[in-house]
Amino acid sequence: MLIEQTVLPKGLKPARIGSLYYLISFLCSGSYGPFIYVYFSELGLSGEQIGWLASLSPLMMLLALPIASLADRKHWRVRILQSALAGLGITLLILRIPKTFGWIAGLMLFVAIFSSPLMSISDSLIARMAQRHKLNYGSMRLWGSIGFATSALIFGALWQVLGFKPMFIVGSLLLLPLIWLAGKLEEGPQSALKDRKPVFELFRDTGLVLLLLATFLAGISNSLSMTFGGIYARWLGGGNFLVGAMIAFAGYSEILTMFYGEHIARRLRGPNTVILAYGLMAIAYLGYILLANPQALPFLSILKGLGYGLWFPITVRMVTERTPEAWASTAQSLLAICMFGLAPIVAGPLGGWIHDAISPAAVFGLGVITLGMAALVLWLASLRGKLA
């Protein structure tokens, strides 16, 4: 198939563009993402209310599919990505004002709407760019882990001293260079649209469907950790710096497995590599439960980071390899919906109920169970040759 080349700005190579995009994107999300629910808890919101707020973003993630499909059909991936980033920046600026649940929920709804297509479109653009130029996708994605870990560590210390109000301004300002950089991503070949098959053809691939199911199950555990990890650390007596340290230790650990993930996958095969990743994360969550010491949490987060560093890039690559270029963003939106949409819809309210009715530690027991179920799905799919 004839590949149309995208003219890149002088001095910006594809690997550099992808790496910089992930670095700045996660510097931004790390400035507020790990702390926003802690901020809401300090405003007096209950665990149940926080659980429902956490479910807004995944609920709106369901919009990622029609938005990504539109981006694919119209060849508007870059312009939709830039528009969503701009809308998110404006909403974050306003979010620092309200203090009641109703107003916070309304603004978080807009945060969720603008955030919904970001991951699926950017991952599809960068993963396809890596495939097109024969690059290691994980070596670009690891810069996101570096950015998120560094950002969480630095801003965790800053918010410990300054309070949480400045984090909304910082998050908005960091989106400005990201909007510019998004415009430098390769849109992809227009020629891929000529032989496009109907989108429902994607669901005829049983291996893809089972991979999405496993991602949904494992995504429940990831959502529980993202929403309640910081709250759990505070419940055990840790401070905001400890919350940032948990994110930092996990993020820096991801770098190792993201860089070597392709080598590991070639030896173990993709499905077995993802199962290994599930196991590492499950051990970390068991440690959270058994070692109820806040000082141990950052070290246990290393295992979580090693697992995530294998899980996400290899899963993105597996989806990329199983789907056509013409539906690049749509395929990644399905992955994003399972992991960051449907999974948190279950994890948010259920985790909030477990937090209030049983204990914060019990939340991570659910995470261990869902990771075990995800591993079983992939193992059976691989055994029956569905992921060959």
Q: What is the mean pLDDT of residues 26-38?
A: 87
Residues 59, 191 contacting (CB under 8 angstroms): no
| pLDDT confidence tier of residue 95, bands split at 50, 70 and 90 | very high
Per-residue pLDDT at 9 exceeds 50: no
Residues 365, 249 contacting (CB under 8 angstroms): no
Per-residue pLDDT at 2 exceeds 80: no
Per-residue pLDDT at 4 exceeds 90: no
Rounded to whole angstroms, the Cα distance separating 25 from 171 reads 10
Q: Quick: pLDDT tens for 174-185.
A: 999 999 999 888
Q: Quick: pLDDT tens for 353-383.
A: 898 889 888 899 999 999 999 999 999 998 8
Q: Which of 48, 55, 344 is nearest to 225 (CA)?
A: 344
Structure token pair of residue 218 = 């494992």
Query: Of residues 292 and 6, which shows the higher confidence score?
Result: 292
Per-residue pLDDT at 196 exceeds 70: no
Structure token pair of residue 195 = 């032989």
Backbone angles phi, psi at 358, to 5 degrees: -115, -80
Rounded to whole angstroms, the Cα distance separating 246 from 108 reads 24
| pLDDT confidence tier of residue 190, bands split at 50, 70 and 90 | low
Q: Please name the amino acid found at residue 156.
A: G
Q: Quick: pLDDT tens for 68-78.
A: 888 888 888 89
Q: What is the mean pLDDT of residues 48-69?
A: 80
> What's the pLDDT at 5?
39
Structure token pair of residue 78 = 């870059």
| pLDDT confidence tier of residue 193, bands split at 50, 70 and 90 | low
Residue whose entry in the numeric block shows the structure tokens 């974050």: 92
Residues 253, 309 contacting (CB under 8 angstroms): yes
Per-residue pLDDT at 319 exceeds 80: yes
What's the burial of 141, exposed, middle or buried (CB within 10 Å: 0-12/13-18/19+)? Answer: buried
Q: Which of 378, 349, 330 is nearest to 218 (CA)?
A: 378
> What's the pLDDT at 198?
67
Task: State the CB neighbour count (10 A cutoff) for residue 384.
Answer: 12
Q: How many CA atoms lie within 13 A of 282 on its CB side?
A: 17
Q: Please name the amino acid found at residue 134.
A: K
Average pLDDT over the chain, rounded to an integer:
85
The CATH number that domain 14-184+199-383 falls under is 1.20.1250.20
Rounded to whole angstroms, the Cα distance separating 76 from 79 reads 5
> What's the pLDDT at 51?
74
Q: Please name the amino acid found at residue 158.
A: L
Give the DSSP letter of residue 20.
Answer: H
Q: Quick: pLDDT tens for 275-309.
A: 999 999 999 999 988 887 888 888 999 999 999 99
